[in-house]
Structure 1
């Protein structure tokens, strides 16, 4: 059989009996896909890994806690043989051959009647890479090909332009904290499929350079506002381009719903019946401190962290933040958009009981090549910001976690 190439096929296993022999690491890797395919999976094994046992406990699979016995493959459509008992594997393989059950063997691929391809998924497409014959099979090579194809589909570098369907509407995409590699896979794919991209200043700018020439890139800060408020003008631009049948991406820094006014845009689109997709992004409130070696929580140090917008000073009547309550918390306080207000914020926290010596770290341009970290305390942070010329965007971390990790972190 090894002289001929394998015939690739997709098995539709919904509601069909699949038998897995062995509850070790091979089963742990293969079972989720079988469950996702809707198969009625029955495991035969005296033992199982904790993950496999959890699948049985939750009813995702059934489990006979014993060794293989002749007849276990009766009425099966597909079998996976992955035990550590060589004799049992041979016997089960023979039963599968006798009953005409397609059978995969983890211990001896040449003796199997089916091979498991290296698979990956991207937006409704399954990529399966299979070595053409048994001789010279290299699982690492097939996995590498699989990874390259899936990554290309996900980030938009591998596309079928004549068959790709662009869906008119708007996607609110969180671009992450700044490093272009930290945007989500889905966000990057939607960018690659966009006709129009309306970008914030804090979005990952390097990604814009990768867009095809036909994509219209609009700087949100340069949209003519005229008689409109800035946000209203942005909403109108999203609506206008979407109504032209275009696929529009609103590229925002961090996450669209973390001080990003994303919900205002989603509501404006919903009011006029334009489809809107929200793609969460990595928030700078946790990613930037992490990139600077600061965990926002740490065992024995902080069991909570609170994220606050600092764009309005504590003494401003528009402030919605209960600063006296924050001063009493023992956990980590992360402040976004607060560089120019940090003096008043620090004074308010100290006035309501936060120790003046509480450590403070300011991480400017976090996750980018220009990242820098400046340390201070609540008592010294205002002067430190002036002396060190700290500029936005910067994430401010207040609390004992500032001193947990190293000053430099890669």
Structure 2
């Protein structure tokens, strides 16, 4: 929501137009004389309301609904853009005003929440509001920081949707954001983008490259302890997907100990989910089910993505055993439905890949699990062939 630190006649006019009021109606709304409003309209940024009137304008803007705020922001940007004239003088500043910085920051907080709930349409509209309004060339350091954060969040959105490579991809957005943070000399943000790029690399199937990147980031002091532990966990994930399940297990257990020391229960739970898949890959279904039970009983999957990942992991383990294959397929259907409804493109493709490994894995004349005529194709059903693990 827009906030104005210091009102001039220019901002007051933008508020009047956003409220869609005449000069007289606006004066009545504020409890001021029509002549005062007319003065603001004429002089714009060359006049400033008195302190008590500033407070009245603060209240009027604060009580306005979201649609008024959006019109106010748009109108004010148009009034102060390049080539616009205010109070008889040309405005030369093309970048954001102080109130826009605050609104931009607030919107990025809303984007984070929207992405956590997989509300991609809303997140995209909020990011587009700012990325389409300004270019990096017209921004000062504060504006560049917000622009880079917006670009990084756009990369997260694209990654969740499964758009990993190309000019409009997660990777492209991450590279752009990383370049700006490097220009601003913010090492922590640069390292976080390196971590995001490693995730995109893994999701693209380049497991060896991803594992090397994760390994370097797991000991990178630019990152927080939590991010380093996540990198260590993802080293294990990449190793497990590459078939090195026992090595992956040791790495993941180290990550679990780190999450426990950091008191990060959600990460601790997710790590057990990943560990279950590693043990499934090693053929140790008893341990896989035990770790999966820990993940299910300690985690609180609130977002669609978290639910999809947990359900898919459970299905991935159950489908390994012919006796529980039907249960695994049922869970895959449930996970696919949630992923499709939530626009989780990468997760949906992972589920489809897992399902394809099930097709033909067991064959029989009556196609019923448990039938004496079922045969196992060892190559297709081997727990060690686990490149289709959910991400």
TM-score interval, smaller chain: 0.3 to 0.5
TM-score using structure 1 length:
0.32
TM-score using structure 2 length:
0.33
Higher strand share: 1
Higher helix share: 2
